[in-house]
Structure 1
Amino acid sequence: MTVKDEVLKKLKQQTAFVSGEALAQELNVSRTAVWKAIKELEKAGYHIEHRSVGYRYLSSDVLDQAELVKKITTPLAVEVFETSTSTMKDAQLAALENRSTPRLFVADMQQAPHGRFNRPFFALPRAGIYMSLLLRPQAELTALPQYTILMAVALAEAIDHLTGLTTSIKWVNDIYLNGKKIAGILSEATTDVEANRLNCIIIGMGINFSIPQTAYPAALQTKATSIFPTGEATITRNDLIAEIWNRFFELVTVDPNVALTRYRQKSFVLGKKVTFQQKGQTFFGTAIAITEHGELVVDLGSEQKVLASGEISLSAIQ
């Protein structure tokens, strides 16, 4: 551990003020080294109260690998980055290197965030959650759960539980709050067709956590928002990340119909008029059902169409 890490660990263990001299003696370093460590911690985003009697750690929304490992009840490796080109790419590289799984990649800022159909999304440092999970399920393809559905339920319910808000799910992979998007999910998989097995699956997501509403580009002002649009959060990102994955791993172990039922209950698409394009043609209809495979059934009046998530995107919902 660096002096900075040691100082942070000691401060987190105390509720009272700790003097710089006591920290220096306990860590066998100079007072100057302690002072520099405090400055480095504050630069990293940690809140530390200064008094004549010493220093005291205050609740800070800084992504913390050790805290996440402790709070997530399922054993997994966690890697935290200050910035990443894409946590999906981090996970893809780990898969190629055959690194241990499950493995979670979390970034404070993502330089090239993207969702379904390679669509970019808006990101800000220390105001969002950008993460991807690498899994190696040991099951035949036909026995695999609908991971996007499980993830959407876990994410929406985690936000509701910790904040008291009421989110909804736009088929198939977006989380909405008050009619605006706050999060998107992307799942990618590699398969062994001959063995009828999945080699690995990567589940990624971008969550608008505390991006101020005024910070969004003009084109997104009416389309996107954050869990905390004022920029002032009542929970930490570590709290939410842990809650999301604890719920996800719990859902993986239960009957798939449990998650599917909750997914349908959270849907704001069912019963509404939707517009979509297929093979260059625009269709209008009513979303009437979500199948056990996560497909959306749309009643066009003269016929019903079953939409697969990987092929169709809804362009309008009324």
Structure 2
Amino acid sequence: MSTKQKILTILRQDGNIVSGEKLAATLDISRTAIWKAVRELEKQGYHIEHFPNGYHYLVSDVLEKELITNEHLPTSAIFIKEETESTMDDAKVAALKQQTSPALFIAEKQTGGHGRFGRAFFSPNGQIYMSLLLEPNQTFEELPQYTILAAVALSLAIDHYTGKQTQIKWVNDIHLEGKKVCGILSEAISNFEAGRIQHVILGCGINFSLDPQSFPTNLQTKAGPIFPQANPSATRNQLIQLIWQYFFELLEDLPNNKYLEIYRSKSMVLGRRVQFSQQGVTYHGKATKITDTGELVVQTKQGDKTLSSGEISLEAIE
């Protein structure tokens, strides 16, 4: 552990003002070395108050492996970058290099992020951009509904830290108070010779804490942050940790379909009229059911239409 990390640990654990003299004696280094290390921590984004009698740690939102880890994701399986083109691409490269999974890839800044159908999306700095690499080694028919599991885990974690109730727009968007705060993208890498899915990658882009007015004008009525205030009630580390804690708990609970019950209860489309396009034809109807395999059943004048996430995008909800 570096000197900076040792000082950070002491300040966090103490919770009060810790004198430079005490830090120096504990770590057997000079007061000057303490001061330099504190300055380096501040440059990294940590908030530390300076007093005549010492230093006091304030809650900071710097991404840290040690605060995200859980029994399924050791620190050695968490990779954090200052900037990347896409965490999905980072996960794909890691899969090709036979990275042990599960593994989590996170970035402070993402320059080439995209959603379903290759759509680019607004990616301001300091939000949450992450992708989870899994190695199910199963046939397509055997695969769990990973996108739905991730949506439920995200929704529950956001509920926990906001005290509000999120909704899920089929199949992969999380909405809070009528605005999209998170999108999920899942991709599979197949082994055609073996007929099995070798890897699955779950990507998440989360609007964590932002001024709602900072969104592009055309998005302000559609998208928003989880925390519009300057001082959110949770850190990104806490939210990320809880998301994947919930995800792996739901995964371990299979084949119990409790996650589907939660998903359906949080649906913002069931029972409502929707519009969608399929093979160049626009349909209108009422969303009546989400199947056990995550498909949406819409009752239209032309009969029931069963929609999969890969072939349509909901265009309107009435």
Shorter chain as denominator, the TM-score bin is over 0.9
In terms of mean alpha carbon deviation, does 18-27 or 145-154 score higher? 18-27
Corresponding position of 1:5? 5
Between the aligned partners of 2:28 and 2:237, the Cα distance in structure 1 is 31
Corresponding position of 1:96: 96
**Matched residue, 2:175:** 176
The Cα of 1:141 is off from its aligned counterpart by 2.7
Counterpart in the other structure of 1:105: 105
Aligned equivalents of 2:251 and 2:22: distance in 1?
47
Report deviation, 1:90: 0.9
1:116 match: 116
1:152 & 1:75 partners in 2: Cα distance?
A: 19
Distance between the aligned counterparts of 1:300 and 1:286, measured in 2?
A: 7
2:41 matched residue in structure 1: 41
Shift of 1:114: 1.2
Distance (Å, rounded) in 2 between the aligned partners of 1:99 and 1:34 = 37
Measured in 1, the distance between the counterparts of 2:195 and 2:264 equals: 29
Task: Give unmatched runs, 5+ long, in structure 2.
Answer: none
Q: Tell me by how many angstroms 1:236 deviates.
A: 0.9
**Where do 1:146-161 residues align within 5 Å?**
146-161=145-160
1:27 — aligned with what?
Answer: 27
Match of 1:13, SS state, is: helix
Name the CA distance, whole Å, in 2 between partners of 1:27 and 1:85.
39
Question: Counterpart of 1:73?
Answer: 71
Letter in 1 for 2:9: K
Deviations 1:233-254 (A, max 9, x none): 0111111111110110011122
Q: Which moved more, 1:185-194 or 1:128-137?
A: 185-194
Range 32-41 or range 239-248, more displaced: 32-41
Separation in structure 2 between the aligned mates of residue 120 and residue 34 of structure 1, nearest angstrom: 44
Q: Which moved more, 1:175-184 or 1:231-240?
A: 231-240
C-alpha spacing 1:159/1:114, structure 2 compared with 1 (3 Å): same
Return the letter of the residue paired with 1:92. Answer: K
Cα distance in 2 for residues equivalent to 1:156 and 1:252: 15
1:37-91 per-position Cα deviation (integer Å, ceiling 9, x unaligned): 212212222111211111121111211111212xx23244111222221111111
Check whether the contact 2:72–2:102 (CA below 8 A) recurs between aligned residues: no
In structure 1, how many angstroms separate the alpha carbons of the residues matched to 2:256 and 2:225? 29
CA contact (8 A) 1:145 1:256 kept: no
Secondary structure of the equivalent of 1:122? Answer: coil
Is it true that 1:260 corresponds to 2:260 in the alignment? Answer: yes
SS of aligned partner of 1:306: strand
Question: Aligned partners of 1:158, 1:94: CA distance in 2, in Å?
Answer: 27
Provide the C-alpha distance between the structure 2 equivalents of 1:160 and 1:73, rounded to a whole number of angstroms: 23
Mapped to 2, the partners of 1:16 and 1:211 lie a distance apart of: 30
Contact 2:73 2:104 in 1 (8 A): no
After TM superposition, give the deviation of residue 31 of structure 1 in Å.
2.6
Q: What CA distance in whole angstroms lies between the structure 2 residues aligned with 1:150 and 1:39?
A: 42
In 1, Cα distance between equivalents of 2:236 and 2:71: 17
Q: CA deviation at 1:123?
A: 2.1
Please, which runs of 5 or more residues in structure 1 have no aligned partner?
Answer: none
Q: Any conservation in 1 of the 2:151–2:172 contact (CA below 8 Å)?
A: yes
For residues 274-304 of structure 1, give each alpha carbon's deviation from its aligned partner in whole angstroms, at most 9, with x where no partner exists: 1111222211111111111111111112311
Q: Which amino acid aligns with 1:120?
A: A
Pairwise CA distance, 1:186:
0.5
The TM-score with structure 1 as length reference comes to 0.94
Aligned to 1:197: 196
Contact 1:213–1:230 at 8 Å: present in 2 too?
A: no
CA distance in 2, matches of 1:196, 1:263: 29
Between stretches 219-228 and 9-18, larger displacement belongs to: 9-18
Identity, % of aligned positions:
52
1:305 to partner: Cα distance: 1.0
Aligned residues: 315
**Structure 1 runs of 4+ with >4 Å offset:** none
Report the equivalent of 1:293.
293
- State the match for 1:217 in structure 2: 216
